[in-house]
Amino acid sequence: MNGAGARGGDLAGRWATARRILCVRLDSLAGVLLSTPAMRALHGAAPGRSLTLLGPPAGVAALPFIPELDDAIAARLPWPPDEALATTLAARRFDAAIVFGACLQDARPAARLCRRAGIPLCLAYRRDDGRDYGHGDGRGDTRYMPHHWIPDPEPTPMVRHEVQRQLALARHAGCASADQRLSFAPRQRDVDAVRGRLRAAGVDPGRPWLLLHPGAGAPARAYPPAHWARLLRLLARAPGWPLVLAGSAAQTPQVDGIARAAGVPALSLAGRLGLGELGAALQLATLAIASHGAPAHIAAAVGTPLVDLYALTEPHTTPWAVPNRVLFADVPCRFCRSRACPAGHHGCLDGVAPERVARAALELLNLT
């Protein structure tokens, strides 16, 4: 294996000449968003540099809203990829690749893909777990991956925030940025479209209003619908501002059911907003309340104060660089990293009373 730590200066020097860089982030839209500060560091480190994202379809959909990215290629799971993807990457003639990923994710399949595509320089975290990080055939030959593997200190003795993790990887390539905010820039036409929808429904977008996003990307991260309905009733009393609900098309029945159960005036835009319009709605809102996931990270990227209903499935993706309140109920099974509650009680979110959420919102709005 290459000793990247011992030759960090040489590694940064080789990256300084790279102009066409492949940024690999294969798990989710949220993962792509959390990697954008590191992408900004890479993009700004050399003149004329271009970045291409290799990511899942949901992550690639963010391309128009991430200024640091110039192009994107969708990679669908299951993994590992077929030869067609390696051929596609080879045709792009990338100078370098960087493999972003969360702690405990295995970077080897992506690294092997980069080797098969002939990318001469690649950077990724290596876990010291006794696995082969060379060709995967026992030889440990890294001739095609100079300075590739960076020892990963996580999950012991430390767990960094996901943004810090990716920024640290970029620094090994000699890339840093003073601006460490998440990146998501809605287009003007998205902002205009959302303003029009709000006005048509009797909501003045220039006055205070609240956006609530009940939908979650996994069952373990979902705040109970009955709690959401109770929360809407509390917010209708204080601060008494217009309530707007959002969610994907698949989440529309749940969101509309919450609005009916609440029995208070609320505008549902669930299923009616594209990704850019969702970002615009979050940007225009005075405050957002969301189940933890990509919408919460978009709110952080556009600078909207956020109440984050944070299931204790993982410790490292809290809202970044935005005024926030992270709410959960502590449970012995914390940080389970599961999509469905393995204990069956969902206590980390069931135990968060709607009154507590409303109070957090009023605190962020300086209304207490």
283-311: pLDDT as tens digits: 999 999 999 999 999 999 999 999 999 87
Q: Is residue 51 part of a domain?
A: yes
CA distance 215 to 213: 6
**Could you tell me whether strands 20-24 and 96-99 are parallel, antiparallel, or unpaired per DSSP bridges?**
parallel
The whole-number pLDDT of residue 311 equals 78
Whether 68 and 158 map to the same domain: the answer is yes
Whether residues 161 and 202 share a domain: the answer is no
Do 113 and 152 lie in one domain? The reply is yes
Quote the pLDDT of residue 144.
39
Q: Does one domain contain both 67 and 137?
A: yes
Examine the pLDDT at 339 and tell me if it is beyond 70. Answer: no
What percentage of the chain carries pLDDT values higher than 90? 70
Mean pLDDT of 264-269: 98
Q: Is the per-residue pLDDT at 137 higher than 50?
A: no
Q: Name the residue range of residue 124's domain.
A: 5-172
Instruction: Read off the tokens for 244.
Output: 């707007």
Confidence band, pLDDT 50/70/90 cuts, at residue 6:
very low
> Is residue 136 very low, low, confident or very high in pLDDT (cuts 50, 70, 90)?
very low
Residue 2, pLDDT > 60, answer: no
Residue 213 shares a structural domain with residue 102? no
The Cβ of residue 206 has, within 10 Å, a number of other Cβ atoms equal to: 10
Token code pair at residue 105: 């994710």
Within a domain: residue 291?
A: yes
Q: Mean pLDDT throughout 168-197?
A: 97
CB distance 99 to 111 below 8 Å: yes
- For the stretch 124-133, pLDDT in tens is 998 765 454 4
| Number of domains the chain is built from | 2
Least confident among 13-17, 146-150, 274-278: 146-150
Last residue of a domain, one of 172, 197, 216: 172
Same domain? For 277 and 153 the reply is no
Do both 141 and 201 map to the same domain? no
Contact between 292 and 317 under an 8 Å Cβ cutoff? The reply is yes
Residue 1 — very low, low, confident or very high, per pLDDT cuts 50/70/90?
very low
- Does 180 fall in a domain? no
Range list of β-strands (E), 75-198? 96-99, 122-126, 149-151
Q: Six-digit token pair at 173?
A: 């390539």
Residue 114 one-letter amino acid: C
Q: Report if residue 179 sits inside a domain.
A: no
pLDDT of 80 above 80 = no
Pair 85, 221 in one domain: no
164 and 199 belong to one structural domain: no
Residue after which a domain boundary falls, among 142, 172, 202: 172
Question: Between residues 157 and 205, which one has the greater pLDDT?
Answer: 205
Task: Please tell me whether residues 167 and 307 are part of one structural domain.
Answer: no
Q: What is the mean pLDDT of the chain?
A: 88
| pLDDT over threshold 50, residue 3 | no
Residue 197 lies in a domain: yes
**Do the domain assignments include residue 181?**
no
Flag whether 177 is in a domain: no
- The predicted pLDDT at position 44 comes to 96
Strand (E) or helix (H) holding 298: helix 294-302
What pLDDT was estimated at residue 142? 47
Mean pLDDT of 197-217: 96
Flag whether 182 is in a domain: no
Pair 159, 198 in one domain: no
Tell me, what's the pLDDT at 141? Answer: 44
What secondary structure letter does DSSP report for 65?
A: G
pLDDT at 242 over 70: yes
How sure is the predictor about 151, in pLDDT bands with cuts at 50, 70 and 90? Answer: confident
Of 348 and 109, more confident: 109
The CATH number covering residue 193 comes to 3.40.50.2000
- Looking at the structure, do residues 157 and 224 belong to the same domain, yes or no? no
Angle at alpha carbon of residue 12, lines to 56 and 1, rounded to 5°: 75
Among residues 115, 137, 172, the one where a domain terminates is 172
